[in-house]
């Protein structure tokens, strides 16, 4: 397939690499062009604008940081929407607010353009290995057309509905489950550490018994090893996603008390100077509250 790809952060770069290695014809756009150098060396083409990346593409992926960058890259003067072919599909993989998800859905619909949300679950190493989980929502005929491209980086694909916004809400919800699990583990590790039990021992028992899901194994390992510089999701990103989840609760009139706790933990981490650390650094806020050094 002819594929346009916007956004070469840790996740986006790995996803674009998988598409290129799977034999797709890939045109890239990234604000910092040098991040595409290795992909260009292996056959990808570099575009100067989002519109240029979309021109002639059957599918245009975007994996950008937030609402504002996604809106500008899609509907700006040189955005995706200005150059999409009549039968092309914009596939947004970014974690966005529901308001922005609706703007994308409705904006493309007004222009008669195809649009699908395909959010991903997993950290950068999973993207490199092609083992992401993909949450897809949009009209079924469009979902079917993009499936070959999704399989380049997706280990399993979950279709959740015909409205693209449905996938955005599922992604925010599952991200919140990760964040609340990190908070639970942080409190458990801090309490036992203060009682004299090494958190690594608690981690071994936990993952060797009934708390052995990937979220416990992967994040728990980083926490007990204090691997806060791991190239995953930052505190800033965690706060953004949690605040969007809280906003979704407001939209649907659903109280989310634990999400408010997670938000405050992220704010405390930022106040402590850890904004750019991996969000497993929430462990240190629990340790601090326990009086541990």
Residues tagged active-site: 171
The tokens describing 85, both together, are 């072919």
Neighbours of 48 (CB within 10 A): 10
């Amino acid at each position: 397939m002819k594929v346009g790809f916007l956004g070469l952060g840790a996740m986006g770069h790995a996803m674009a690499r998988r598409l290129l290695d799977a034999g797709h014809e890939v045109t890239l756009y990234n604000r910092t062009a040098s991040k595409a150098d290795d992909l260009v060396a292996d056959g990808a083409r570099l575009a100067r604008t989002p519109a240029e990346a979309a021109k002639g593409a059957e599918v245009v992926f975007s994996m950008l940081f937030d609402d504002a960058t996604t809106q500008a890259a899609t509907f700006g003067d040189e955005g995706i929407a200005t150059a999409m072919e009549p039968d092309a599909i914009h596939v947004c993989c970014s974690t966005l607010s529901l308001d922005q998800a609706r703007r994308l859905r409705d904006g493309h619909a007004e222009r008669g353009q195809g649009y699908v949300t395909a959010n991903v679950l997993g950290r950068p190493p999973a993207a490199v290995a092609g083992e992401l989980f993909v949450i897809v929502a949009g009209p079924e005929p469009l979902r079917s057309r993009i499936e070959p491209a999704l399989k380049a980086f997706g280990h399993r694909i979950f279709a959740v509905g015909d409205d693209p916004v449905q996938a955005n809400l599922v992604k925010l919800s599952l991200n919140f489950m990760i964040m609340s699990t990190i908070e639970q583990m942080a409190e458990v590790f801090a309490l036992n550490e203060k009682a004299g039990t090494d958190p690594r021992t608690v981690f071994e028992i936990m993952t060797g018994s009934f708390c052995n899901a990937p979220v416990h194994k992967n994040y728990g390992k980083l926490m007990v090893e204090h691997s806060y510089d791991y190239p995953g999701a930052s505190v800033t990103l965690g706060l953004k996603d949690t605040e969007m989840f809280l906003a979704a609760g407001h939209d649907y009139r659903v109280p989310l008390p634990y999400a408010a706790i997670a938000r405050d933990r992220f704010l405390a981490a930022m106040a402590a100077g850890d904004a750019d650390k991996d969000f497993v650094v929430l462990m240190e806020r629990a340790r601090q509250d326990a009086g541990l050094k």
